[in-house]
Structure 1
Amino acid sequence: MMTSKEFWTKKTLIGLGLGQFLSLLITSTGFSSSELSKKGIDAPTSQSFLNYVFLAIVYGSIMLNRKQPLKSKWYYYVLLGLVDVEANFLVVKAYQYTSITSVMLLDCWSIPSVMLLTWVFLKTKYRYRKITGVAVCIAGLITVVFSDVHAGDRAGGSNPRKGDVLVVAGATLYAVSNVSEEFLVKTADRIELMSMLGLFGAIISAIQVSILERDNLKSIHWSAGAALPFVGFSVAMFLFYSLVPILLKTNGSTMLNLSLLTSDMWAVIIRIFAYHEKVDWMYFLAFAAVSVGLVIYSGGDKEEDHRADVADEEAGSGSHNYGTTEGSLKTGETSSSFLESEVVENKGKDAQWKL
């Protein structure tokens, strides 16, 4: 049996706190996207474009100042940028067809996706306590589905089924992005990852905007009411992308994606206090269940445990989920650990090749 001191380790507390801050950032991006959708602005790639530009400018400047060669292959970042851009595109596009709550709930598909990817490609091992924590988190979220209030919310949107399909597809890409990000942040570093993701993400986004959204952007009547959520989305995403690698490196992508499950509950809390809405009591039950699951999953984690026994946690980065990413991609939303410290050198090349 663990003592209280052994359970509430420094890494556990940092993971829980940082995870919930990232969840709040995702909640803010959800409100921004929903607000833009209500105003008739259909430019999902354009929303993410500014975020990639910010990443490229800020972290690219640091990279240039360091004058060091890349630690990972440049084409890995091209593929990561492509996957991340399309994950963001699909999930943001879904807001045109379904409700914000549906998007946030279905985005949890990134969790089993990330766990499967890390198990297959990174040989991740999960202990029963970790699996129990994941099960409790997902059970808490499923509770909301049976709420009458939530059932009414899901009915919103012009084409809920199409929106749900887009979310699931985006969540899957977030999982790929999260696993790749966590691998790269381990083999390279956070600055290189953010700068290269920003560079190639901006290039790919610019190409996609010119092909798919040029006419939509021209037809938009920009005003303070439209520009504010647009810029707010980009700033929140920049902060999210900047902090995700930290959580991925310390607690892993499964922890990231589990933390993002509470974004739906934070949205409910905001609606209660900001808009004075009444919500079903099952939302609070779900929030409590997800919180308990997070504590079960992360409780007692130590650095040595994280490397040896939870190789899954360090290997996965979210999303969006995002992360996406951190995921995360969903940014999803997003996973697991990395390779055991004893076999990193021997297995690293093989895992890298598979990715």
Structure 2
Amino acid sequence: MLLAIVYGGIMLYRRPTIKAKWYHYFLLALVDVEGNFLVVKANQYTSITSVMLLDCWAIPCVLVLTWLFLKTKYRLMKISGVVICIVGVVMVVFSDVHAGSQAGGSNPVKGDFLVIAGATLYAVSNTSEEFLVKNANTVELMTFMGFFGAIISAIQIGILERGELRSIHWSADVVFPFLRVAVTMFFFYSLLPVLLKTNGSTTFTLSLLTSDMWAVSIRIFAYHEKVDWLYYLAFATTAIGLIIYSMKEKDEEEQRDEQRKLLLDEEDGETFRVSLI
């Protein structure tokens, strides 16, 4: 609703020409809402650490989708970094099986697979948003995602979660955390198109894994919960995969810089300006 109100007001003021079909935004909002729903639902069954680590399952999904539909090319080093991240995901699942009920949920394995399903939908959503933000309009994207997302969420809550909604006691302890989540997600979705336009959905999805260190720290120091030893190994493996992926991007940037220097050098030692595409 916040997205629809804020960006919808900007859109009504500017009155731009709508560049994409409305049903594209409807399908995108549906995928995004269901991805969020599955991940939130998973918190009832597994720990927050598992939820955040298993989000990296979206990475190989994004790689495949961007390669198929956006024609993005990935070299061996990038792929190997992603594979190492996936190994970290597998370790999280095994750690929940090993820890059993001590993993922070009633059914950790069920929660893990809910997160994986939600992360797959995240990948579809991020890839679609990258395409739309580069070919349509950011304000238009946020307006229709907020509009259709609010409608879909309201219908789903009314049908599937009516009993849980009635059981909630709307006190300050419930309202304030809800408002914090709503405002945080509003800013998250507002920054998302900028990141997708400048860096792409793969880099964006990888960057989300930096939240894992906060999840582990909060769980240990704030909630005083025990973390299975495989979590640390899984996090270290995921971090190594991210480093390998980032090192390759840095190498490519250095290669581009060297190419620029070579093109800027003349035979007589003079330089000239060259525009690279």
* TM-score of the pair, normalised by structure 2: 0.78
Show CA shifts across 1:247-270 (max 9, x none). Answer: 211111111221222323221122
Equivalent in 69, 77, 94 of residue 129 of structure 1: 77
Find the structure with the greater CA-based Rg. 2
Shift of 1:203: 1.4
What is the distance in 1 between the residues matched to 2:227 and 2:109?
A: 24
Counterpart residue number, 2:13: 65
For residue 105 of structure 1, what is the amino acid of its counterpart? L
Question: Structure 2 unaligned runs (5+)?
Answer: 257-276
2:261 corresponding residue in structure 1: none
- Aligned partner of residue 97 in structure 1, secondary structure: coil
Residues 80-101 of structure 1, C-alpha deviation per residue, up to 9 Å, x if partnerless?
Answer: 0111111111111122222222
Corresponding residue for 1:120?
Answer: 68
Residues 219-248 of structure 1: CA deviation (Å, up to 9, x unaligned): 211112222222222222112111122221
Matching of residue 206 in structure 1 with residue 154 in structure 2: yes
3-state SS of 2:161 partner? helix
Moved more, 274-283 or 158-167: 274-283
1:78 aligns with 2:78: no
Q: By how many angstroms is 1:182 displaced? A: 0.6
Q: Is the 8 A contact 2:97 2:109 kept in 1?
A: no
Residue in 2 that maps onto 1:221: 169
Structure 1 unaligned runs (5+)?
1-52, 306-341, 343-355
Partner residue of 2:270?
none
Instruction: Give 2:115's match in structure 1, choosing from 167, 174, 178.
Output: 167
The number of equivalent residue pairs is 253
The answer for the alignment partner of 2:129 in structure 1 is: 181
Identity %: 70
Matches of residues 1-355 of structure 1 in structure 2 within 5 Å?
Answer: 53-140=1-88, 142=90, 151=99, 155-275=103-223, 286-287=234-235, 289-298=237-246, 299-300=249-250
Classify 1:133/1:212 alpha carbon distance in 2 versus 1 (closer, same or farther; 3 Å): same
Q: Give the secondary structure class of the aligned counterpart of 2:24.
A: helix
Q: Contact (CA 8 Å) 2:10, 2:139: kept in 1 or not?
A: yes
Q: Which amino acid aligns with 2:16?
A: Q
TM-score after normalising by structure 1: 0.63
Instruction: Kindly provide the amino acid, as one letter, of the partner of residue 189 in structure 1.
Output: N
- In the aligned structure 1, how far is the partner of 2:106 from the partner of 2:235? 28
Contact 2:50–2:92 (CA under 8 A) maintained in structure 1: no
